[in-house]
Amino acid sequence: MTVGSGKTRNDGTRGMMDGMTRTKPFLAALGGEVIRPAPLWLMRQAGRYLPEYRALRAKAPDFLAFCLNPEMAAEVTLQPIRRYHTDAAILFADILVLPFALGHPVTFEAGEGPRLEPLTTRAQLDRLDMARAVEVGAPINETVRRVRAALPADVALIGFAGSPFTVAAYMVEGHGSRDFAAAKALMYGDAPLFDALMNHLVHATIAYLSAQADAGAEALMLFDSWAGVLSPAMFDRHVIVPTARIAAALKARHPHVRLIGFPRQAGGSLIAYAEGAGVDAVALDTAVPPAWAAAALPRNVTLQGNLDPLALVAGGDALRDETEGVLDAMGDRPWIFNLGHGVVPQTPPEHVAALIAQVRAKR
Amino acid sequence: MTVGSGKTRNDGTRGMMDGMTRTKPFLAALGGEVIRPAPLWLMRQAGRYLPEYRALRAKAPDFLAFCLNPEMAAEVTLQPIRRYHTDAAILFADILVLPFALGHPVTFEAGEGPRLEPLTTRAQLDRLDMARAVEVGAPINETVRRVRAALPADVALIGFAGSPFTVAAYMVEGHGSRDFAAAKALMYGDAPLFDALMNHLVHATIAYLSAQADAGAEALMLFDSWAGVLSPAMFDRHVIVPTARIAAALKARHPHVRLIGFPRQAGGSLIAYAEGAGVDAVALDTAVPPAWAAAALPRNVTLQGNLDPLALVAGGDALRDETEGVLDAMGDRPWIFNLGHGVVPQTPPEHVAALIAQVRAKR
């Protein structure tokens, strides 16, 4: 493990972070240091590809109840750490826990994606209940506390939430979608209602993530899975601006907590995002050319990504070559190795082990 | 209508194109001229949002038979020209006509997307029949001839095909998909078979588009709808390289025919595509910031796009503001106004008229 010198972010926290950066390479990289071998974790590193996950999940048929059970959620958060000792653990939960906690109807049926009551009226918006969210979301914080207490000293803990646009898109559309036509119909056609929903979600997300930081999360990640459906003007309004508001509020309350933003399929808008969203790191999706991102995004932002999860399914030469491509593109930038999207269920766990060995062998 | 001077592409065809560019602004823009108001057409400008389309479509229950009926296909190709006098007509067909013509099982069920027999074996590949494709695809060329003969003198005709990767992805996966996991499993896991399929499709696409050019198509467009699922290395191998092969072959046979490439959700890879795929124009999807594309893509490539089709559904201020954003970003680049994806069925036809009036009022 080598720690680059003089590559830290100039935000005044370097001195205060010193004790931590020496023991947690993931946080050092988020702080702007060039760490090689690169710190590594995998989106959805806890999940259906692991037999120990499936064994526990079989005991809890309801997915939201599983997420809100601290004993089970802490256990599955820790499973990939025991197996692979990745450099970070990420809270096991779902981005739709927050709208569910706010009182919006959300269900998960086996074999289908999530289903939500489509939000189309001011009355539905007015029913969202921040006090209820604090109570219903409390088990999430207990999970964070349990995981933090159980983690090895060099492994950091990431909390997360869906970004307001992605959560709003699910709430209005009612389900996943290729173009989110209903969500965008409301966004364009009733901007006051959509903006009010977004504003509500910004405040709820700040409270939700702040509680995770209080409970022990050392980094927080915002997943904007559907950012790629937006035009540049709407991307600015509904992705960059709300993320910057959340980042400013969280930084004010938790100056040492690092933020990672993941605006999936943002393409050329990644530059404006990296410059304006106030995050410490930008997660790159599979389609982003890492060498382009390394050259085009501001140097004071750490990059994370972005191996194709389907290369991880394939293994062998394809996995080695694709991984090498990402590693070579890192150059001397602060970088955290990850996938470009989550681990998929059909991934052989031994391919994950081979990937980690390759990344850790790279100097 | 103003035609910019000295902005033509330096490829030696300017003199020969002169007679044509004076009457067809769309082709002049593809040739590198800055035309304002910008020439305009809309992806899926013929389709379900038009009552005259629905009336004709009701008479032909089978969608592929509808595409392969020159009388009907020519009529629906011409419908939006009569209504809006857009600067280009695009052949009414489907990107899956080619694999169907090659003998691969393809069906369209009402209310569902296309279904194909998943191609996973060499035997299935060997059954693809180029001679059959020429025969089955012949009605497409007859449609092109009929439309070309019927078009106003200032309206150009665009032929098209799916790009090899997108067609291969459909053929292997068997249907549309968010991540094309099965297609990528074959791409990574059995590269010789996937490469052979791609090679077959490159040759078939050249023959298919060349026949359209012979029949009277003045521009050809390659739709790579699923390019955005690929890693940068696979994007180079399965998008840029095959497109460059097709472009080289078509340019050799039809030096005056212009090529438009549409690698959807390519993000930062658009730069490498515009530099290496050999196309005259790059179509931008909704998420591409047009100002970024105008600055980052080589100046000898015409840009096309990229209004959000959902803004066209909304109409009113949202449509005006989003359209103005695209118009402002064009600057002094060769540009063809279009959407960032196809017109959706719920689009009010009067919104299309309002959009066209706004674009044509812009100097």
pLDDT of residue B36: 96
Q: How many residues does chain A have?
A: 363
Q: Are A325 and A29 in contact (CB under 8 A)?
A: no
A289 and B272: CB-CB below 8 Å?
Answer: yes
User: Cα–Cα distance between B140 and B154 in angstroms, integer?
Assistant: 22
**C-alpha dihedral (B267, B270, B272, B277), degrees to nearest 10:** 140
pLDDT of residue B109: 85
Classified as helix, coil or strand, A45 is coil
Q: Which of B36, B44, B148, B258 is catalytic?
A: B44
Shortest CA gap A25–chain B (Å)? 27
pLDDT of residue A7: 43
Instruction: Indicate if the pLDDT at residue A5 is higher than 60.
Output: no
- B311 CB neighbours in chain A (<8 A) are 184, 188, 231
- B178 CB neighbours in chain A (<8 A) are 176, 178
- A267 CB neighbours in chain B (<8 A) are 265-268, 270, 287-289
Instruction: Indicate if the pLDDT at residue A83 is higher than 90.
Output: yes
Instruction: Indicate if the pLDDT at residue A220 is higher than 60.
Output: yes
B170 is catalytic: yes
Q: Which of B49, B53, B84, B170 is catalytic?
A: B170
Q: How far is CA B322 from CA A126, A233, B285, B297, B337, in A?
A: 29, 7, 14, 22, 13
- B45 DSSP assignment: -
B188 and A269: CB-CB below 8 Å?
Answer: no
pLDDT of residue A111: 77
Measured between CB atoms, which of A267, A309, A322 is closest to B233?
A: A322
User: Cα–Cα distance between B52 and B45 in angstroms, integer?
Assistant: 12
A294-329 b/e (C-beta count within 10 Å ≥ 16 → b): bebbeeebbbbbbbbbbbbbbbeebbeebbebbbeb
Measured between CB atoms, which of B230, B316, B325 is closest to A233?
A: B325
A314 and B272: CB-CB below 8 Å?
Answer: no
End-to-end CA distance of chain A: 8
User: Cα–Cα distance between A200 and A246 in angstroms, integer?
Assistant: 12
Within chain B, which residues score under 50 in pLDDT?
1-21
Q: Are A59 and A39 in contact (CB under 8 A)?
A: no
Q: How far is CA A321 from CA A277, A291, A359, B234, in A?
A: 33, 15, 12, 11
Query: How many CB atoms lie under 10 A from the CB of residue A13?
Result: 16
Q: Which of B94, B129, B190, B195 is catalytic?
A: B94
Confidence of residue A360 (pLDDT cuts 50, 70, 90): very high
User: Cα–Cα distance between B52 and B42 in angstroms, integer?
Assistant: 17
- B272 CB neighbours in chain A (<8 A) are 289
A296 and B321: CB-CB below 8 Å?
Answer: no
Q: Are A91 and A160 in contact (CB under 8 A)?
A: yes
pLDDT of residue B110: 79
**Phi, psi of A215, rounded to the nearest 5 degrees:** -80, -10
Classified as helix, coil or strand, A160 is strand
A360 is catalytic: no
- A-B CB pairs within 8 A amount to 160
What is the value of ipTM here, to two decimals?
A: 0.90
Q: Which of A9, A36, A44, A148 is catalytic?
A: A44
User: Which of B48, B237, B286 should be substituted to probe chain A, the one whose Cβ sees the most A Cβ atoms within 10 Å?
Assistant: B286
- Tens of pLDDT, residue by residue over A102-156, are 999 999 987 788 999 999 999 999 999 999 999 999 999 999 999 999 999 999 9
- B265 CB neighbours in chain A (<8 A) are 228, 265, 267, 287
A265 and B231: CB-CB below 8 Å?
Answer: no
A208 is catalytic: no
End-to-end CA distance of chain B: 8
Confidence of residue A2 (pLDDT cuts 50, 70, 90): very low
- One-letter amino acid for residue A232 of the chain: P
Reported pTM:
0.93
Confidence of residue A3 (pLDDT cuts 50, 70, 90): very low
DSSP string, B260-301: EEEETT-GGGHHHHHHHS--SEEEPPTTS-HHHHHHHS-TTS
A340 and B268: CB-CB below 8 Å?
Answer: no
- Tens of pLDDT, residue by residue over A316-358, are 999 999 999 999 999 999 999 999 999 999 999 999 999 999 9
pLDDT of residue A12: 38
Q: How far is CA A145 from CA A157, A217, A224, B242, in A?
A: 10, 8, 25, 52
- Tens of pLDDT, residue by residue over A52-76, are 999 999 999 899 999 999 999 999 9
- Tens of pLDDT, residue by residue over A22-45, are 579 999 999 999 999 999 999 999
Nearest Cα to B211, choosing from B125, B133, B150?
Answer: B133
- One-letter amino acid for residue A252 of the chain: A
User: Cα–Cα distance between A224 and A140 in angstroms, integer?
Assistant: 20
pLDDT of residue B294: 96
> Domains in chain B, start-ordered, CATH in brackets?
2-361 (3.20.20.210)
Q: Are A340 and A309 in contact (CB under 8 A)?
A: yes
pLDDT of residue A113: 87
Q: Which of A14, A57, A299, A320 is catalytic?
A: A57
Determine if the peptide bond prior to A61 is cis (ω within 30°). Answer: no
Measured between CB atoms, which of B181, B268, B291 is closest to A267?
A: B268
Q: Are B250 and B213 in contact (CB under 8 A)?
A: yes
